[in-house]
Chain A
Amino acid sequence: MSVLIPPIATPAPATVPPGGLARLHEWVITVDHKRLGVMYVLTGLAFFVIAGLEAGVIRWQLAVAGNTVVSPQVFNRLFTVHGTTMVFMVGIPIVFGFANYLVPLMIGARDLAFPRLNAFGFWVFLFGGLLLYFSFLGGDGLYGAGSAPDVGWFAYAPLTGRAFSPGNSTDYWNLSILVMGFGTVATSINLIATTLAMRCRGMSLERMPLYVWMMLVVSGMTVLALPPLSAAQIMLLLDRFLGAHFFDTQAGGSAVMWQHFFWFFGHPEVYILMVPGFAMVSEIIPVFSRKVIFGYPMVVAASLAIGFLSMTVWAHHMFAVGMGAPLNSAFAASTMLIAIPTGIKIFNWVATMYGGRIRFATPMLFACAFLFQFLCAGLTGIILSVVPFNWQLTDSYFVVAHFHFVLVGSLIFTIFSAIYYWFPKVTGRLLSERLGRWHFWLFVIGFNLTFLPMHWAGMLGMPRRIYTYPADRGWDLWNLVATLGVPFQAAAVLIFLINVAISLRRGERAGDDPWDAWTLEWATASPPPPYNFETAPVVASRRPLWDLKHPDDPDGPHE
């Protein structure tokens, strides 16, 4: 009945402290899921800082009408590289990095199913990302124009054709995302195999932690959604180098076909990024509310429903394309439907908090802000699904506000929540709560200052991706306020980085289980030894550590 928790194993200290080079070598050749997970997250955070600086310049340029901080060409490169970086080099590596680290620990496994494939995935991602940034130097290319790509992160045809995008800048965008895509698919297959085949004794599917469940759904979505994008990118390569005409409208190709391919990937992608955020808070909210998740089967079912429905909503990015009333109505229906399982999750989290004893440590602060900001993001999503309203709002700043509420206000907030929560497991030390609070409040204020006003700017007719705007349109105030939010966010991230740097050396020792949590990763040492568990754990319920701590009232009979 009860859980078998192995004695805590401390790794034997190395007899000779390895030098810097030897340590670097260890990290380069590693196939350990924990090290690869850490490398994913650190690389993602590095790109996060870079993308944030790009966004800062964008906001500086837009602070007042007719500004000339950067030229139009540079502005277009900035928003293209910012968007591409945030989606493919910040969101994806961080959520898959966490999964890399946590899934084997949570299911009581030794490593992922294919450790070397895992290392391949990371290195392909890293060099893919560096390839994109190399475009600043190499984008001139064979036909001599350009620098970094400037076609927008969804790179609509035929702007990406050679006629409109000479030089090699678009090729850097294309190849970089193509190779990163291979790595992401490899990692997803790895996660699926691990979850299905390597769970410890007693951990049936219906006892898996919600985090693992949701990452299983995410991996499934990735395997289905990414290959169509890769296919389209190969077609674009053929167009650009071998004179094919898939998207070349001058020769009978179809511009709309690219949009279908891209968004068939692009919309599931939103959920590929956001469901891991749900996954993280589904672990964090119960622990800090001191209550079991309310309605576990419903949360799992809702996640599966989101996974399936996310494959059917892509053309809601294309309501202004002229698809005709029947198709527009169909995609409005699927988009509105996906709001239901998403809403169910919010209700389940709030019901979990209801009746609890909520501890407001930094992870929970970020999780609470996530609840409100994600509610906004979800409701503006419903607004955008109302097709006639969408005809006004699409491609305006309202959409920019909406997806930043999803990807920053929701995803980045859950990522910060998760970093504060699992940092002690990874490093053995807690992050400073005092600096954590500064980080949290500055980020909440800055985020809302920047992105709330963009809703109004969009409703007042401001299109996205314009490098400047006339002074008489009534957008000045909203843009100025949006820019004023930037220093708050920058200060917050700076404080976070300082917090990490200080806490790594001088943070309070965490022990194995600083949050009094319930999933298996907290049963082993912090940081966990290379082999994770000394003896294979056996579980009897969804909360093995609860059972251990409350032998009088284990979870099993209630499930």
Chain B
Amino acid sequence: MDGNVNRIAGTTDASRQAAGGSFLTTVVMAVTPTPSMFAPVSTPAFAIREVSFLVLAITMFIFIVVAGLTLYAIIRFRRRPGDDGREPPQVYGSTQIELAWTVVPFLIVIVLFLTTTRYIFAIEGRSVTRDALQVTIVGNQWWWEIRYPGLGIVTANELHVPVSDPADPRPTFITLQSADVIHSFWIPQLAGKTDVIPGKTNRMWIDPSTPGTYVGQCAEFCGVQHAGMLLTVTVHPKEEFALWVAAQQAAAPDLSEVRAGRDVFTSVACINCHTVRGTPANGVFGPDLTHLMSRATLGAGVAPNTRENLRAWVNDPASLKPGALMPAMKVSGSELDQLVAYLVTLR
């Protein structure tokens, strides 16, 4: 199965290098994302591809037979020039033939149904194991909050998980909740969709076998910026994941040279919505900014997380993501510079 994975997911070598090089900077930019369900790297996605090949083969066969018959009837029994105008023999029906084309589809349906059920229970029936990583993802208009309850980490939009070697499985179990409307969590290469529904807790699991970065996005219409609610999953080798966890658990740096920017941050409305651990900022409506610069993108994937984009975002998020719920901050030019200088230290 592992060889299969590498052959299909052609991007994995590049992504492994990128991830190995500097995992705290932008991994997502280094790879060409292929959100194709036919390039799986995790058991649920493999299972789905397996069943999909069977179904596609059966339906393709039916198509060829029925379309072929139809085409034959159309061509063979077209009225030709010189037709004498007499009516063809009237055939009112045939019990045997009609019985045949009822029973055969019924048998096909039975095969399909049994296969489907087997795969449903195999994927949905897996229970949490002791060595599993537990993550809670909360859908928000229009970004993802990602919590690691066991590790004390809160981040956004970019899920990081360890690789799950078949010999040493480390699956990730994801609890899905919504803060507002319905969203849907979908990374085609890892698993099918699971809806993220307010008032209902859903669970799903992945066990990616190849390091790399995989892309997906919200799959249930959730308002103005449904299209701007992207997400990535970065799969790290074990040691690298441990490093990532340690870096995320660290407190935010507090550098004296950006003290002015920090003061701006804590004195304007930023702290109503955002948290920076170790500061008075403990708002919960927006993404946690403690390690803002460890993320590759801004606004749930709408722009690379560069200093210029960050400045534009703070000044007016709608310039990058029209409809985003964060208001334009309306701070003066010099204050904006100080603010951005502070934010870029949050590594």
A residues with a Cβ closer than 8 A to B are: 71-73, 76, 150-152, 156, 158-159, 163-164, 249-250, 252-256, 289-292, 294-298, 320-322, 324-325, 328-329, 332-333, 336-337, 339-340, 343-344, 346-348, 350-351, 353-360, 368, 371-372, 375-376, 379-380, 382-383, 385-392, 394-396, 459-470, 472-474, 550, 553, 555, 558-559
Asked if A353 meets B74 with Cβ closer than 8 Å, knowing A156-B221, A298-B93, A392-B188, the reply is yes
Asked if residues B197 and A321 are in contact (CB atoms below 8 Å), the reply is yes
Asked if residues B77 and A353 are in contact (CB atoms below 8 Å), the reply is yes
Stretch at the interface among B82-90, B163-171, B262-270, B283-291: B82-90
Instruction: Give Cα A293–Cα B180 distance, bound, in whole angstroms.
Output: 54
Contacts of B194 in A (CB 8 A): 320, 322, 391
Asked if residues B92 and A296 are in contact (CB atoms below 8 Å), the reply is yes
**Other-chain residue from B62, B109, B202, B221 in contact with A322 (beta carbon distance below 8 A):** B202
**How near does chain B come to A234, taking the closest CB pair, in angstroms?**
21
Asked if residues B90 and A350 are in contact (CB atoms below 8 Å), the reply is no
Cβ-closest chain A residue relative to B181: A159
Asked if residues B93 and A158 are in contact (CB atoms below 8 Å), the reply is no
B332 at interface, CB cutoff 8 A:
no
Contacts of A294 in B (CB 8 A): 91-94
Cβ-closest chain A residue relative to B119: A388
B218 at interface, CB cutoff 8 A:
yes
**Other-chain residue from B77, B93, B105, B199 in contact with A354 (beta carbon distance below 8 A):** B77
Asked if residues A72 and B323 are in contact (CB atoms below 8 Å), the reply is yes
Asked if residues B88 and A332 are in contact (CB atoms below 8 Å), the reply is no
B336 at interface, CB cutoff 8 A:
no
How many chain B residues touch A (CB < 8 A): the figure is 90
Instruction: Give Cα A346–Cα B219 distance, bound, in whole angstroms.
Output: 34
Contacts beyond the supplied A164-B141, A336-B116, A388-B44: 9 A-B pairs with Cβ under 8 Å: A73-B224, A249-B197, A294-B92, A347-B66, A356-B73, A382-B55, A383-B55, A383-B56, A392-B52
Cβ-closest chain B residue relative to A76: B224
14 A-B residue pairings within 8 Å (CB atoms): A159-B182, A164-B181, A294-B91, A325-B121, A350-B66, A360-B78, A368-B70, A379-B62, A388-B119, A388-B120, A459-B37, A463-B186, A463-B217, A466-B227
Which residues between 4 and 32 of chain B lie within 8 Å of chain A, taking CB atoms?
Answer: 32
Which residues between 197 and 233 of chain B lie within 8 Å of chain A, taking CB atoms?
Answer: 197-200, 202-203, 215-228, 230
Instruction: Give Cα A547–Cα B214 distance, bound, in whole angstroms.
Output: 68
Asked if residues A322 and B197 are in contact (CB atoms below 8 Å), the reply is yes
Interface digits, B51-82 against A, CB 8 Å rule (1 contact, 0 not)? 11001100100110011011001100111000
Asked if A392 meets B193 with Cβ closer than 8 Å, knowing A322-B200, A350-B73, A356-B77, the reply is yes
Contacts of A336 in B (CB 8 A): 109, 112-113, 116
Nearest 7 pairs between A and B by C-beta?
A391-B192, A461-B35, A466-B227, A295-B93, A249-B198, A322-B202, A249-B199
Asked if residues A255 and B182 are in contact (CB atoms below 8 Å), the reply is yes
Instruction: Give Cα A358–Cα B78 distance, bound, in whole angstroms.
Output: 4
Asked if residues A558 and B92 are in contact (CB atoms below 8 Å), the reply is yes
Contacts of A380 in B (CB 8 A): 59
Contacts of A359 in B (CB 8 A): 79
Cβ-closest chain B residue relative to A458: B37
Contacts of B97 in A (CB 8 A): 351
Asked if residues B198 and A473 are in contact (CB atoms below 8 Å), the reply is no
Which residues between 106 and 126 of chain B lie within 8 Å of chain A, taking CB atoms?
Answer: 106, 109, 112-113, 115-117, 119-121, 123-125
Asked if residues A254 and B182 are in contact (CB atoms below 8 Å), the reply is no
Asked if A474 meets B74 with Cβ closer than 8 Å, knowing A320-B192, A359-B79, A387-B120, the reply is no
Cβ-closest chain A residue relative to B55: A386
Cβ-closest chain A residue relative to B47: A388
Instruction: Give Cα A358–Cα B80 distance, bound, in whole angstroms.
Output: 9
**How near does chain B come to A283, taking the closest CB pair, in angstroms?**
16
Cβ-closest chain A residue relative to B80: A357
Asked if residues A344 and B184 are in contact (CB atoms below 8 Å), the reply is no
Asked if A379 meets B59 with Cβ closer than 8 Å, knowing A152-B221, A357-B88, A388-B120, the reply is yes
Contacts of B217 in A (CB 8 A): 463, 466
Contacts of A73 in B (CB 8 A): 224, 322-323
Asked if A252 meets B199 with Cβ closer than 8 Å, knowing A294-B93, A325-B124, A395-B219, the reply is yes
Contacts of B301 in A (CB 8 A): 470
**How near does chain A come to B34, taking the closest CB pair, in angstroms?**
6
